[in-house]
Structure 1
Amino acid sequence: MARIAGVDLPKKKRVEYGLTYIFGIGLHTSRLILDATGIDYNKRVYELSEDDVAAITKEIREKYMVEGDLRKQVAMDIKGLMDLGNYRGLRHRKGLPCRGQKTKTNARTRKGKRRTVGAA
């Protein structure tokens, strides 16, 4: 099992899809990384040699922000919005959707479990 950026990649998946298990790497970025390192997309993760894993790790370290650093950056960006007090920051602070969705119905993912008001 290959371990890249602190994430164990699934053995039987193709490398291009296995890399997407790393936070901050999608399919497009995965393909860019594989092109830069010269590794075939169709290779399985368990078929990667130590040199291949080292090349992928080096490419990711040099050019991309992933996992803990990226999560920290996103959290800081959201905190900055909340500190500014702009509309998106207020929506984050109240735990409501901040991209224009309606909240009369739906929005349960952001609002949490339904709380009945005034039921006797």
Structure 2
Amino acid sequence: MARIAGVNLPTNKRVVIALQYIHGIGPKFASEIIAKANIPAERRVHELTDAEALQMREIVDRDYQVEGDLRREVS
């Protein structure tokens, strides 16, 4: 199970859909993240290697404001 930004991603969903479970990531940002990580759009979360999950986690942490930080800024 991949955990990104404190959110457990659903394992049977495609990665591009599962990333949208994170507050602040919609379809556009999810597509950008998997493109930066060179992950095919049809890959499912349970098929990710540990290296791919780590790479996505690093991209989200470095390039996007999500979850708690975004909630604090919005309110």
User: Structure 2 length normalisation: TM-score?
Assistant: 0.97
Measure the CA separation in 2 of the matches of 1:21 and 1:63: 17
Q: Which has the larger radius of gyration?
A: 1
**Unmatched runs of 5 consecutive residues or more in structure 1:** 76-120
Give the residue type in structure 2 aligned to 1:16: V
1:25 aligned residue: 25
Measure the CA separation in 1 of the matches of 2:41 and 2:20: 13
Measure the CA separation in 2 of the matches of 1:23 and 1:11: 18
The higher relative CO (CA closer than 8 Å, separation ≥ 6) is in 2
Query: How far off is 1:15 after superposition?
Result: 0.3
1:11 aligned residue: 11
Measure the CA separation in 2 of the matches of 1:4 and 1:71: 16
Q: Does residue 1:35 correspond to 2:35, yes or no?
A: yes
Q: Deviations over 1:66-94 (max 9, x none)?
A: 0000000001xxxxxxxxxxxxxxxxxxx
Measure the CA separation in 2 of the matches of 1:9 and 1:61: 16
1:62 aligned residue: 62
User: Structure 1 length normalisation: TM-score?
Assistant: 0.62
Give the residue type in structure 2 aligned to 1:30: A
1:2 aligned residue: 2
Percent same amino acid among aligned pairs?
A: 43
Q: Which runs of 4+ in 1 moved over 4 A?
A: none
Query: How far off is 1:55 after superposition?
Result: 0.4
1:51 aligned residue: 51
**Unmatched runs of 5 consecutive residues or more in structure 2:** none
How many residues get paired? 75
